[in-house]
A and B are shown apart, each in its own frame.
Chain A
Amino acid sequence: MSERTATIASRVGLHARPAAIFAEAVGALPVEVTIALEGDPADDAMDASSILSLMSLGAANGQVVVLRAEGDGADEALAGLVTILETDLDAE
């Protein structure tokens, strides 16, 4: 099990366009990735490829989330996703 934390950089939080970009990136990966707010139990983690899950997570700007994945390529996958979350996607 690989685990990484990331701080949400988008000003609107993980909603709308930033959530769409992130969900699409997760969907393209060979591994399953979950997402949870920092401090929440791992059992409550949600499917990170689901834009609806991301929206219901409601992670705001500056909040820390935990990404988890298992299997081959998990570390590389999470590193890429952390970069996406820590970029202000609205600004682009």
Chain B
Amino acid sequence: MQSFTGVGVSPGRIVGSVRQMPKAVSEPPAGEQLASSTTAEDAAVTLRAAAKAVQAELKQRSVSATGAGKSVLEATALMAADPMLIKGAVKLINTGTSAERAIWESAASVAEMLHNLGGYMAERATDVLDVRSRIVAELRGVPAPGIPASDEPFILVADDLAPADTATLNPAVVLALVTSGGGPQSHTAIIARALGLPAVVAAVGVESITDGTAVYVDGAAGSITVDPDAEQLEAATAWAANAATLAVFSGEGVMADGHLVPLLANVGGAADAVKAAAAGAQGVGLLRTEFCFLDRDEEPTLDEQVTAYRGVFDAFPGKKVVLRTLDAGADKPLPFLTDASEPNPALGVRGYRTDFTSPGVLKRQLAAVATAAEGTEADVWVMAPMISTADEAADFARMCGEAGLKTPGVMVEVPSAALTAETILGEVSFASLGTNDLTQYAMAADRQLGPLAALNTPWQPAVLRLIQLTVAGSVAEGNNKPVGVCGEAAADPALAVVLVGLGVNTLSMTARALAAVAAVLAKVTVVEAQRLAGIALAAPSALEARARVRAELPILDELGL
């Protein structure tokens, strides 16, 4: 029985058949010529046929799609055989260029034209490039890039997924995600948790599994087994039964001894917020405002911002909503704020720092938040990402005060902020630990890199120590200022216990994880959580910390978490 081990990032035990995600289409070499056996006329005919085939495929997919996805597919299908695109390519073929290279260049110039038109047109440029990849794949006789279209449920195996893949990932068909690259904080992990799909990342060798192979995936243990045995089939069946109970959250995070741990949701906009409220979230611990405006070339207007934020506030009347100001940069560039040419974007001008280079955007955002908060019943808190010093915290608190916002706070994700939490909390009303970035900076390990996945886990004792120091800073400051966690760490039920043991007041996570975290917290007392936190802090490695804590929590295995 062949098996593979990776990092489990989203729990679930499932059996299914594998579909490999085709590799991205490589660029045909510049200057590639027509093969001597091919005439320009033949190449043009072949190209038109390939374009028609891609068009037919996209059109067929649009039939089963609904809503916005349907109209995008319809428009993209038309682009595939568009006369402007094809004529441009045929011109190049007539000068001796290969069909692949010709369509590549023709699409590039069309995409550039659309980009230069700005606004809505610029956003369509990526559609043209997607169509181009599909035509080149068709010409080469290789599968189309992207998530395979299938009516049969399957386990998706890929190198890693990009944020854009989320749009085409149908959770009704994809049973689980397995990647050879990526880490616990990669987009694959975030997508999997948001969709509630079992997932294993950084599983070396899985690219060799052939399509159609039956495998067993355990998203908590991080294992993939080819040709599962009877015991594993049974485990998958038991999980399916458990999953139903783990999907319901009572709406209050309470521990075995009655200690309350408010469980909040991380959301990216009004649609998310409505879902989170329905899932029982006790508020929003992280509103990622940049997600309202990704793919935008220009700063959103005041009215657009007010509408976007109010939609979230209205979903949580009488509840806390913590809004994070635009966290642009690194893996989430916003053209109106960030400089894409920085050599080291994770250490560059991002988050709060964009106020140094694009002053005014933050001030206008805070004004929009204040306007949106007027007349809503939500308790609106505002925090800045990437704060490194007490001076920055003071400056942000001043800007919030000028905008009329009463509860300013900071994200603690730069190690310097954890180390100086006492003085930073002297300037603001609360702190929220962003464990994804805190881990990447504490371990000096890029979140997106598969080979560094073992470093990139919030189970690292060094990261837990920084969380402990942040809580200690709040205690030393003396005014009981709340410290929450809004990183992916809070969604891991075992780690959630450790975080509470370290003294964290609230946990904010993807709404999908609320029920599982609540189920585990309900079995543990605060004293027990403190003991487990001590065990984790004293462990020599992240793996040991996780293993030792999990060994003390048998409820995890019972629930398949």
Interface residues of A (CB under 8 A from B): 15-17, 19-20, 23-24, 46-47, 49-53, 55-56, 58
* Pair B82/A51 contact, Cβ less than 8 Å: yes
Give the dominant DSSP class at B's interface.
Answer: helix
Give the total of B residues in contact with A, Cβ under 8 Å.
Answer: 17
Q: How far is the CA of A59 from the CA of B78 in the complex (A)?
A: 19
Instruction: Encode B105-123 as 1/0 by CB contact (under 8 A) with A.
Output: 0000010011001001100
B78 engages A47 (CB within 8 Å): no
Which B-chain residue is minimally distant from A15 (CB atoms)? B120
**Contact pattern, B 85-124, Cβ under 8 Å of A = 1, otherwise 0:** 1000000000000000000000000100110010011001
B74–A20 touching, CB < 8 Å: yes
Q: Is the CB of B71 within 8 A of A17?
A: yes
Closest CB in chain A relative to B81 CB, distance in Å: 9
Contacting residue for A50 out of B83, B120, B121, CB 8 A: B83
Residue ID in chain B nearest A13 by CB atoms? B120
| Residue-wise interface mask of B (454-492) relative to A, using a CB-CB cutoff of 8 A (1 in contact, 0 not) | 000000000000000000000000000000000000000
Quick one: which of B84, B110, B113 has the most chain A CB within 10 A? Answer: B84
Are A58 and B121 in touch, CB under 8 angstroms? Answer: yes
State in angstroms the CA–CA spacing of A51 and B78 once bound together: 7
Distance to closest chain B CB from A26 (angstroms): 10
Chain A to chain B contacts (Cβ below 8 Å), 7 pairs: A15-B120, A46-B84, A55-B124, A56-B113, A56-B117, A58-B117, A58-B121
Residues of B within 8 A of A (CB): 71, 74-75, 78-79, 82-85, 110, 113-114, 117, 120-121, 124, 128
Residues of A within 8 A of B117 (CB): 55-56, 58
Whether the pair A17, B75 counts as a contact (CB closer than 8 A) is: yes
Interface contact A20-B84, CB-CB below 8 Å: no
Residues from chain A with a CB closer than 8 A to the CB of B120 are 15-16
Report the Cα distance A54→B124, complex, angstroms. Answer: 13
Q: Which of A20, A49, A51 has the most CB of B within 10 A?
A: A51
What separation, in Å, do the CA atoms of A75 and B117 have in the docked complex? 33
Q: Which residues of B contact A17 (CB under 8 A)?
A: 71, 74-75
B84/A47 in contact, CB under 8 A: yes
Contacting residues, chain B, for A47 (C-beta < 8 A): 83-84
Cα A2 to Cα B82 with chains together (Å): 24
Given contacts A15-B120, A47-B83, contact A52 B110 (CB under 8 A): yes
For the complex with contacts A17-B74, A51-B78, 6 further pairs of A-B residues with Cβ separation under 8 Å are: A17-B75, A47-B84, A52-B84, A52-B110, A55-B121, A55-B124
B residues near A23, Cβ cutoff 8 Å: 78, 82
Q: Which residues on the B side are within 8 Å of A16 (C-beta)?
A: 71, 75, 120
Residues of B within 8 A of A15 (CB): 120-121
Closest-CB distance, B424 to chain A (whole angstroms): 47
Contact, CB under 8 Å: B78 / A20 = yes
